[in-house]
Amino acid sequence: MHAAIITLLLTFFTSLSSAHYALTFPYWRGPSFPTQWDYPCGGMNQSLSANNRTLWPLSGGAIALTPTHPWAQTYINLGLGSNVTGFNISLVGPFNQTSNGTFCLPEVKLPADLNVQEGTQASIQVVQLSHLGGALYNCADITFSKDAKSPGSAVCFNSTGVGAQALDYDGPEQCNATTGGGKTSGATGLGTGPGVMLLVVFAGVVAVFMV
Ligand SMILES: [Cu+2]
């Protein structure tokens, strides 16, 4: 009886751990699969970074992960320091990361006004909001350095079918107080200037990253 329950639990947790995603570059803080819902780093606390820092280029570098979901709204953030509590610098996103396998952005640039020095420590946070509605977190700890090495094409590549898309934005919701009307149709909204502009600009950004 107990053995059966344990087998059932093991099966459940194995199926959980086969989902979610890992960071393969910079290498993640730790195997967060069972606790990946926990903000801000999937349950992997900062002390785990002690022996696990990746050298990363001073102007920014590659970020590779192994998504397992059909799609996920994805954000990549940065926090400076050796003990990061707030990931307040947006590096990429949000964008829709599509399909599963390996996904890599070969050169994620730092914001132009961000001044990092040789030896500056920081942590990168990846957030994926999956199709099931869960928020999944992972962090990787880095040291900015001119000696940082490229992860190489064995680590930084995009599996067949894996990619990124701009998020579709079909205009703000509109409410007509007199008729009680709701949201306008997507087709109508897409015709509005700001929405299309946002889409085009962001598609350009993603295209640059995907080169
Ligand atoms: Cu998952």
Q: Order of strands, edge to edge, in the sheet holding 60-65?
A: 23-25, 60-65, 103-109
Residue among 3, 206, 6 at smallest CA distance from 106: 206
Residues in Cβ contact with 159 at an 8 Å cutoff, skipping those fewer than 6 apart: 99, 100, 101, 102, 103
Model pTM score: 0.74
Q: How far is the CA of 41 from the centre of ligand 1 (A)?
A: 15
Q: How far is the CA of 183 from the centre of ligand 1 (A)?
A: 31
State residue 203's pLDDT score. Answer: 41
With 60 as the cut, is the pLDDT of residue 200 above it? no
Contact 155, 64 (CB under 8 A): yes
pLDDT band at 172 (very low <50, low <70, confident <90, very high): low
Taking only the tens place, the pLDDT of each residue in 38-75 is 999 999 999 999 878 999 999 999 999 999 999 999 99
Q: How far is the CA of 59 from the centre of ligand 1 (A)?
A: 31
Taking only the tens place, the pLDDT of each residue in 104-151 is 999 999 999 999 999 999 999 999 998 888 999 999 999 999 999 999
With 70 as the cut, is the pLDDT of residue 196 above it? no
- Domains of the chain, each with CATH number or no CATH: 20-165 (2.70.50.50), 166-211 (no CATH)
At which residue do the structure tokens 């509109």 appear?
174
pLDDT band at 81 (very low <50, low <70, confident <90, very high): very high
Q: How far is the CA of 99 from the centre of ligand 1 (A)?
A: 13
Q: How far is the CA of 141 from the centre of ligand 1 (A)?
A: 22
Distance CA 175, CA 165 (A): 29
Q: How far is the CA of 39 from the centre of ligand 1 (A)?
A: 15
Q: How far is the CA of 15 from the centre of ligand 1 (A)?
A: 9
